[in-house]
Chains A and B, each alone.
Chain A
Amino acid sequence: MLATIGKRLVTVIPTLIGVVIVTFLLTRVLPGDPAVYFAGPAATPESIAEVRKSLGLDRPLPEQFLRYVSDLAHGNFGNSLSTGRPVITEIASRLPASAELTLLGLVLSIIIAVPLGILAAVKQGSWIDHTCRIVATAGVSLPVFFTGLLLVYVFYFQLGWSPAPVGRLDAFASTPPHITGFYLIDSLVTGNFESFRAAFAQLILPALTLCIFSLAPITRMTRASMLAVLASEFVRTARASGLDDRTVIITYAFRNAMLPVVTTLGMVFSFLLGANVLVEKVFAWPGIGSYAVEALLQSDFAPVQGFVLTMAVLYVALNLLIDILYGVIDPRVRLEG
């Protein structure tokens, strides 16, 4: 097992090298001149040249690239031009915010979507199947910012049940000490239940928004793959052998239907983590997606490079995890295959 993981990790290295080169080139090729942008209002050609020099942008590209790679080798992702902070600390503080939100949204989604998908497959054509279809279509066709704004409007503005959508914590609540960066965990570990309650209350609406959005792929995938499995011969044999419905569906059919579902989960998770910029904007969530987009809008290279690199590493790790899970779920699919 360990050897196979090691083998897998070795194949990852060329991917990462490719990502480093592509992100570097991509950010240089992008239109927009950071020197002009950062020279600010009332810039003169001389002041733009001064800024360009201080940013090191007057050097030839290969030299800039070498500097970038050697910085990376030292664990230095560079400094964001716009905030002046090291990119690594920004990402370290924003990644947990995104991850906490995404995980909660995904867990919510799995709790609803997987049973719904199974039921829809078992009772094909019934009202549950129709509900499943409606939920999936609605979830995927409503843009996330719309769902988010609607939830804010109903639960915060009209009913007042939810706290103000001002980010991870209410402005007057105290931030739990940084242990994992997940506010729910950090506040529980330190026994700060007041912060836990505040952080959890802030999480509900954005997590629900993500949940609604991700319901569709998960239910549809569960349903489709369950249908395929239920039609297969071993299920018929199991039924013919007189096993009860529960055993047939959960133990035999669902276990075999899980592979495509897990693949979808992995894809949905990585998509939600980096691409839910709109949800982050609506809920003022200090996540990693909005960080990257803002940096991009300001031609701020370092955070964009850092973001792409982090996401690439995460994606690779996630894929590895899913491959290992495959082996656990279905012993026929071992990594050697």
Chain B
Amino acid sequence: MKRREFLKSATALAAGTAISAPAIFSAAAQTRQETLLLVTENGPNNLDIHGVGTNRPGYEASWNCYDRLISHETKTLADGSLSYDLDKFKPELAEDMTTGDMSVTFKLKKGATFHDGTPITANDVKWSFDRAVSVGGFPTVQMKAGSLVNKEQFVAVDDNTFRVDFIKKDRMTIPDIAVIVPSIYNSGLLKKNATEKDPWALEYTKSNTAGGGAYKVASWKPGVETVYERHDGWVGGKLPQLKRVIWRTIPSAGNRRALMERGDADISFDLPAKDFTEMKKDGKLKLVSNPIGNGMYSVELNVKNPPFNNEKVRQAIAYAIPYQKIIDAAMFGHARPLFGAASNTVTESVWPQPTGYSDNIAKAKELMAASGVGPIESTISFDLGDAVNSEPIAILIQESLGQIGIKLAINKVPGANWRSEMAKKSMPMMVNFFSGWLDYPEYFFFWCYSGQNAIFNTPSYVDKDMDVLIDGAYAAAAIGDKAAYDKSVTGFITKAYNDVPRIPLFQPYLNVAMQKNISGYQYWFHRQVDYRTLVKA
């Protein structure tokens, strides 16, 4: 090549780049504008909530990629943040809901299609509900919580009309239709991917989204990244502003914080309390925090075996816990206290609410003496997967109970074993967290205090009077008898606080950090991010 030719071509090349470069940059800026970068500690392990062992981040994928018949309205809370409205429902895939005496009928929206373009019919809805009650495991249990049990309850009246027949009157039925589990699946597509061993095509939906929701998963690398694209034909609500959502897994909390502070990520979800309080003080980002509904950290005592079968010992412990120290040290002051009320006899049917216990060592010693139980040696267990919160709590309790003659050893249970240890019901004392999706007191009590002795009733607390009160609340709610309902609820809370099989500590918060140009974040009972309302300015 001659020198002159080379120079000529080099200039042409330079000119070419000079022209094309701004175009590339503005295109990149445009996609960035319409793309959200979300960072969290864990990503989904399965894109389908019906799958075996789908984790919490997996629920987020299901929530955004599938529609439900109905959903909840939005309300603004006292601090200006947005939340779902427990009591008000709005149509999502259904355009209309008519509740009869023993059934509820939905009319589907016209023109609704799945991601692949097939129209959504009542047969898809019927198939999806059948799937939820048939696959077993968590989805089936969740459906049962709303008295949705048999396939025969679900009827596709015509292409556009779907009916659910009640097996009994239950206030939880309608809210249970608005949780993530009864999502609507593309039955045609899934039947094609079903096999004899896997009639509900769970294998396929593990890594493919087969719904009609506002987003579809464009690519998924487990443990690394999930990329969503908007479903432009979505009719379930207002078309979301964000065209793409990139969800990256960043295991290190320090790096998530650095990414936010440098402005490289748009949202960091589910922050540790420490980062939340420090970032809030800096004031560089938008921080939102909501108390986790129907949830609490508590100390749970096994009432089946000595020494904690003695009510006085349990009460003594409840008076010996350093509540405020725990909130300050474990949660950096960022939690709602559940102690220090005037009395254990409650008058309002709200849940969770403070107990009458507080840090009172003298009273604790008195109760210990009255119990007639000598010095106690026992263990306190916690889930290592939640060591950030649970470990300081356990240590503070160990130190404090030493003062009333209870010597505790600390037992750290690896995350994978926690559930099986809970199921065994042999841990004498533990630090634990529970929260229920359906935000009603009787729902919490059904899982944690009732005589069915479910896995979450870790104290193995079985009491006939308690069951009568819980059943009473369910029955009163079903027929809308407010007075009887309040009586049962205040009754079971008072009883739970006096018998103290579990000692409430505090209600934790769900914390989110956003760049200042992000708006529309909303708290949901499922504690995951809803991309559909998010706006990037």
Chain A residues close to B by CB (< 8 Å): 31-34, 36-48, 50-51, 54-55, 80-85, 90, 93, 149, 152-153, 156-157, 160, 164-167, 171-172, 281-284, 286, 290-291, 294, 296-299
Contact = CB atoms under 8 A, between A and B. Distances in A.
Nearest to B422: A36
Given A42-B142, A290-B251, A83 B223 contact: yes
Contacts of A48: 423
A281 to B, nearest CB: 4
Nearest to A51: B137
Contact of A39 (B138, B262, B265): B138
A294 B264 CA distance: 26
Interface in B20-68: 28, 31-32, 35, 37, 39, 45-46, 51-55
A290 B423 contact: no
30 contacts: A32-B416, A33-B420, A38-B52, A39-B53, A39-B138, A40-B138, A41-B138, A42-B141, A42-B447, A42-B454, A43-B137, A43-B138, A43-B455, A44-B141, A50-B137, A83-B46, A84-B45, A84-B206, A149-B254, A153-B258, A157-B258, A164-B264, A172-B31, A281-B251, A282-B255, A283-B255, A291-B223, A297-B385, A298-B45, A298-B416
A43 B221 contact: no
Nearest to A42: B141
Interface stretch (B242-250, B297-305, B330-338): B242-250
A296 B415 CA distance: 10
Contacts of A82: 45-46, 53, 55, 222
Contact of B262 (A149, A160, A290): A160
B310 interface: no
Contact of A84 (B37, B51, B456): B51
User: Which 6 pairs show the lowest CB-CB distances between chains A and B?
Assistant: A38-B53, A84-B206, A50-B136, A83-B222, A40-B138, A32-B416
Contacts of A44: 141, 454-455
Interface in B176-214: 203, 206-207
A47 B144 CA distance: 12
B136 A281 contact: no
A81 B262 contact: no
A31 B46 contact: no
Interface string B63-102: 0000000000000000000000000000000000000000
A103 to B, nearest CB: 20
B416 A42 contact: no
Contact of A284 (B35, B249, B420, B447): B249
B414 interface: yes
B223 A152 contact: no
Nearest to A55: B52
A50 B224 CA distance: 30
Interface of B: 28, 31-32, 35, 37, 39, 45-46, 51-55, 136-138, 140-142, 145, 203, 206-207, 221-225, 246, 248-252, 254-255, 258-259, 261-262, 264-265, 385, 414-417, 419-420, 423, 447, 454-456
Contact of B52 (A81, A90, A282, A296): A81
Contacts of B420: 32-33, 36-37
B145 A42 contact: yes
Given A42-B145, A282-B251, A298-B53, 11 more contacts: A31-B414, A38-B52, A40-B54, A50-B136, A51-B137, A82-B45, A153-B254, A164-B259, A166-B39, A171-B225, A299-B416
Contact of B251 (A55, A156, A157, A284): A284
Given A47-B136, A47-B141, A290 B223 contact: yes
Contacts of B224: 167, 284, 286
A171 B252 contact: no
B534 to A, nearest CB: 16
A167 B416 contact: no
Contact of B203 (A84, A286, A297): A84
B109 to A, nearest CB: 31
B414 A164 contact: no
A167 B247 CA distance: 12
A166 B223 contact: no
Nearest to A44: B141
Given A164-B262, A172-B35, A36 B207 contact: no
Contacts of B137: 38-40, 43, 47, 50-51
Contact of B255 (A36, A43, A284, A290): A284
Contacts of B222: 80, 82-83, 85, 90
Task: Choose among A33, A50, A284, A291 the residue with the greatest number of B CB atoms under 10 Å from its CB.
Answer: A284
B229 to A, nearest CB: 14
Nearest to B54: A40
B44 to A, nearest CB: 9
B413 to A, nearest CB: 9
Contacts of B415: 297-298
Nearest to B44: A83
Contact of A149 (B28, B31, B223, B252): B252
A84 B45 CA distance: 7
Nearest to A81: B53
A84 B207 contact: yes
Nearest to A156: B258
Contact of A286 (B55, B141, B223, B423): B223
A166 B268 CA distance: 13
A166 B39 CA distance: 9
Nearest to B204: A84
A172 B31 CA distance: 9
A51 B447 contact: no
Contacts of B206: 83-85
Contacts of A84: 45-46, 51, 203, 206-207
A282 B262 contact: no
A188 B140 CA distance: 51
